[in-house]
C-alpha cells in the first residue's frame, strides 16, 4: 500500500500509527502542505478532497483517516484498534470523533487560511480561535475519560481513540498550546509514547 501523507499532518499521523500497530507494510509518498501539493491536479485526481492522507490500495485511493482506519481494521483485524464490547467500541468512537470531527477540522490549515483571506483575521486572532476550539475539545475529552480504568483511552491496548488523541496533542504543542491542564490525556500519551508503532509514526521520525 502507498500512503500519501505529510509528516506533520495529524490525520496522516493517525494512519501511520494504525499501519504500524497492525504491522502492515506501506510506502510513503509525501505531499507537501507547505508547497500546497495537496491542491495539485495530480493529487486531486487521486483524492478530490485535496487533503492528506490518502491510502492507495488495490481498489483505488481512499481518503479520510477514519475511513482508512476502519478499512485497515477490516482487512487486518488483529491486533484490533477497538475494544471488544459493543458499548466500549461506541465509546471509543465517541472519543475519536470528538477529536476528528469537533476539534481537528476547525483548526485545519485551509480553515485558518480562509479566516485570514476572507475575513482579515490576523495571526493573533487565528490563535485565539485555534486555542478556543482546542480547549473546548480537550475539556470534553478530559471529562469523558475521567472514570477511565484502563492504561489507554478505552482498553489496556491502544485503540482508535488513542490514535486520534496523540497527533492532536502533538499539534497542540506545536502551536504553543498549554496542555498541562489535561493530566488524564497526558498520562495516556505517556503510555502511547512507549510503543514502537507510535514512535515510528511521530512526525520527527519521518524522512
Ligand atoms: N477529515 C480528514 C481531514 C484531513 C485533513 O484535514 N488533512 C489536513 C492535514 S492534517 C490537510 O491535508 N490539510 C491541507 C489543507 O488544509 O489544505 C481526515 O481525517 O483525513
Q: What are phi and psi of 104, to 5 degrees?
A: -55, -45
pLDDT value of position 26: 98
Q: Which H or E run contains 3?
A: strand 2-5
**pLDDT tens-digit readout, 161-171:** 999 999 999 99
pLDDT value of position 132: 98
Q: How far is the centre of ligand 1, averaged over its atoms, from the C-alpha of 127 (Å)?
A: 18
Dig out the grid coordinates for 49 from the structure: 478532497
Spatial distance between the Cα atoms of 117 and 148, rounded to a whole number of angstroms: 42
**pLDDT tens-digit readout, 104-147:** 999 999 999 999 999 999 999 999 999 999 999 999 999 999 99
Nearest-atom number in ligand 1 for the CA of 36 is 17
Q: What is the mean pLDDT of residues 165-178?
A: 98
**Residue 154 near residue 187 (C-beta atoms within 8 A):** no
Closest CA to ligand 1's atom 5: 51
How much is the mean pLDDT over the chain? 98
Q: Please indicate whether residue 18, judged by its CB atom, sits closer than 6 Å to ligand 1.
A: no
- Structural domains for the chain: 2-79 (3.40.30.10), 86-201 (1.20.1050.10)
Spatial distance between the Cα atoms of 201 and 141, rounded to a whole number of angstroms: 23
**pLDDT tens-digit readout, 31-88:** 999 999 999 999 999 999 999 999 999 999 999 999 999 999 999 999 999 999 999 9
How does residue 207 score in pLDDT terms, banded at 50, 70 and 90? confident
Q: What is the mean pLDDT of residues 83-108?
A: 97
pTM here is: 0.98
Q: For a substitution probing ligand 1, which of 70, 108, 170, 174 has the most ligand atoms within 8 Å of its CB?
A: 108
How many helices (H) and strands (E) in the chain? 9, 4
Nearest-atom number in ligand 1 for the CA of 111 is 16
**Residue 159 near residue 22 (C-beta atoms within 8 A):** no
Q: How far is the centre of ligand 1, averaged over its atoms, from the C-alpha of 53 (Å)?
A: 7
**Residue 63 near residue 49 (C-beta atoms within 8 A):** yes
> What is the residue-wise DSSP string for 12-62?
HHHHHHHHHHTT---EEEE--TTTTGGGSHHHHHH-TT--S-EEEETTEEE
Spatial distance between the Cα atoms of 68 and 84, rounded to a whole number of angstroms: 20
pLDDT value of position 171: 98
Spatial distance between the Cα atoms of 6 and 1, rounded to a whole number of angstroms: 16
Amino acid at each position: 500500500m502507498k500512503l500519501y501523507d505529510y509528516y506533520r499532518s495529524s490525520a496522516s499521523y493517525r494512519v501511520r500509527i494504525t499501519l504500524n500497530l497492525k504491522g502492515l507494510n506501506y510506502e510513503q509518498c509525501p505531499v507537501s502542505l507547505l508547497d500546497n501539493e495537496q491542491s495539485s491536479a495530480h493529487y486531486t485526481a487521486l483524492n478530490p478532497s485535496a487533503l492528506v492522507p490518502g491510502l492507495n490500495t488495490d481498489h483505488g485511493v481512499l481518503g479520510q483517516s477514519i475511513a482508512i482506519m476502519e478499512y485497515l481494521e477490516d482487512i487486518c483485524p488483529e491486533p484490533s484498534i477497538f475494544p471488544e464490547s459493543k458499548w466500549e467500541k461506541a465509546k471509543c468512537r465517541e472519543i475519536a470523533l470528538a477529536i476528528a470531527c469537533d476539534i481537528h477540522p476547525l483548526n485545519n490549515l485551509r480553515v485558518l487560511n480562509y479566516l485570514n483571506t476572507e475575513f482579515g483575521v490576523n495571526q493573533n486572532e487565528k490563535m485565539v480561535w485555534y486555542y478556543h476550539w482546542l480547549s473546548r475539545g480537550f475539556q470534553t475529552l478530559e471529562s469523558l475519560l475521567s472514570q477511565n480504568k484502563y492504561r489507554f483511552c478505552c482498553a489496556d491496548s491502544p485503540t482508535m481513540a488513542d490514535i486520534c488523541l496523540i497527533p492532536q496533542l502533538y499539534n497542540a504543542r506545536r502551536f504553543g498550546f498549554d496542555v498541562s491542564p489535561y493530566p488524564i490525556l497526558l498520562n495516556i500519551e505517556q503510555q502511547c509514547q512507549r510503543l514502537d508503532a507510535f514512535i515510528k509514526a511521530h512526525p520527527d521520525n519521518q524522512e
